[in-house]
Structure 1
Amino acid sequence: MASGSNGNCIALTAEGRTVLIDAGVAKTKIEKRLLEVGIRPGEVAAIFITHEHGDHIKGLPLANKYRIPVYATHGEWKGISGVDEGLRHECETTYGLYDLILLGEFEIRPFRVQHDAYEPVGYSITDGETRVSICLDTGKVDEEMLVSMAGSDIYIIEANHDPAMVEAGGYPDVVKARILSDIGHLSNEQTASALYRLIRGTGERIYLTHLSSKNNMPTLAEMTVKQVLKRKGFEAGKNYEIEVI
């Protein structure tokens, strides 16, 4: 429903139950966009937050209005305010791994990502038939993340920037260094490399998200992924589907 530096929000629905991953645009915009696809805001079963940056939590007043439970890691709750106490739920860990969260048809497993936030996560979600992995802001994809996402039918993943465009752009050097760092954002090539490891050619769907409006182009992001997957013998429309959001 929203993707990019101005706000991020993803709705997943199975068997009539909807969960949101992030709520990074205004509450009224989330309400409007849910209604446009036939979902009443009061039917949202839970909101899962990846991290506490404003473009991922701006619309959290939605939770209080409709009494929607909100899940985030212990660290990320340090940066999130304004959610009623009874709606706050923590993603818990056992022996260093996040516990499975059961919510009706959904099984949700958080996994660690690499970003400059307190305790950021992605989510691997299944309804027993389809598995979706959501990996938004992260500076790199490590082995633990690959294991957590492996075997998914749908990959919603950041393809934030082209490094050459970042270097040539007008951002201050400190901002450029942050974007390009291991706790910044994924480049097109990093995303393509991760997908090379993940895609099996069984008709998976790839959604490239969180593109920078100044340091990337949709065609460039898509072309980079297609070229890398072609080395594996996979073609878009035949072995997998790809869409840039």
Structure 2
Amino acid sequence: MTDDFKVSMLASGSAGNVTYIETPEHKVLVDAGLSGKKIESLMQSIGRSLADVDKMFITHEHTDHLKGVGVLARKYKMEVYANEGTWAAMDGKVGVIPEEQKRIFAPNSTQLFGDLDVESYQVSHDAADPQFYAFHHHNKTFAMLTDTGYVSERVSSMMRNADAILMEANHDVEMLRYGSYAWSLKQRILGDEGHLSNEDGAENLAQVIGGRTKQIYLGHLSQENNQIPLAHLTVEQILQAHDLNVGHDFALLDTHPDRATVLTQL
């Protein structure tokens, strides 16, 4: 059918992040934070091939979002989209990407690619110029948000009532505070340019879930300062406290650092 709009979180976590999105006309990745070989394997696990991917959208230059960008761009001749600040920060980290494959995607802008419209929005993270994306195909929207210390009203407005949402649930605050990280790193994670906790992610979800929202993915969980069951339970309880009918009106779904979510049609 011509309306197919599908997504899979190939990997999500503190060790690496890759998202796959497809429409009838386009197959794209958001970030490539694992090795090229691992991403190839993850694509095969959902019955897809990197040879069919035509574009990559980069959120920021941290290694867990960038590791495989250069090798995949060169091997598969993908167009790579990032804003000017991120391109400058990626210099020396991704090797040489041919100029004809390099594209600028300015913050807080929209670009149209046939049957896929993509919007960018700036987030608050300790990177050069971090931004995330919302993808629109016909009347459906998939909105993504991780790697931010807080959520602005503009970002909330971009995500509100999306059909599917990837929301950060990076850490449990108590696990982080009493864990082994250096205090300076703990301060960074907890700060306005750090990451959203389970509670932060849930409270922000409560503000953006609408009648169209059918799938919520919890993403970018810390492997040191969180656990999947804990994040899921915390978010579920907070959403229920906001009178949101988890499991009935929408599905609350987990992501994993080393295996893909089911390729799901929005």
Whole-angstrom CA distance in 1 between matches of 2:183 and 2:109: 39
State yes or no: 1:86 paired with 2:100.
yes
Report deviation, 1:79. Answer: 1.5
CA contact (8 A) 2:82 2:106 kept: no
The partner residue of 1:124 within 130, 134, 141 is: 134
Query: Which residue does the alignment assign to 2:176?
Result: 166
Report deviation, 1:129. Answer: 2.8
Identity %: 37
Report deviation, 1:50. Answer: 0.6
Q: Which amino acid in 2 is paired with 1:109?
A: E
Deviations 1:88-145 (A, max 9, x none): 111125xxxx221112311000101110001001101111132000112111111111
Whole-angstrom CA distance in 2 between matches of 1:29 and 1:195: 31
Query: Structure 1 regions of 5+ residues with no counterpart?
Result: none
Query: Which residue does the alignment assign to 1:8?
Result: 17
Deviations 1:156-193 (A, max 9, x none): 11100011111100111111111100100000111011
State yes or no: 1:43 paired with 2:52.
yes
Calculate the TM-score normalised by the size of structure 1: 0.94
Q: What is the aligned-residue RMSD (CA, Å)?
A: 1.3
Calculate the TM-score normalised by the size of structure 2: 0.87
Query: Which residue does the alignment assign to 1:243?
Result: 253
Give 4+ residue runs of structure 1 displaced > 6 Å after superposition: none
**Structure 1 residues 178-187 or 197-206, which shifts more?**
197-206
Give runs of aligned pairs for residues 61-72 of structure 1, distance below 5 A: 61-72=71-82
Query: Which residue does the alignment assign to 2:261?
Result: none
CA contact (8 A) 1:18 1:44 kept: yes
State yes or no: 1:57 paired with 2:81.
no
Deviations 1:32-58 (A, max 9, x none): 221222222121020001100001010
Query: Which residue does the alignment assign to 1:22?
Result: 31
Change (3 A) 1:175 1:152: same
Q: Secondary structure at the match of 1:208?
A: strand
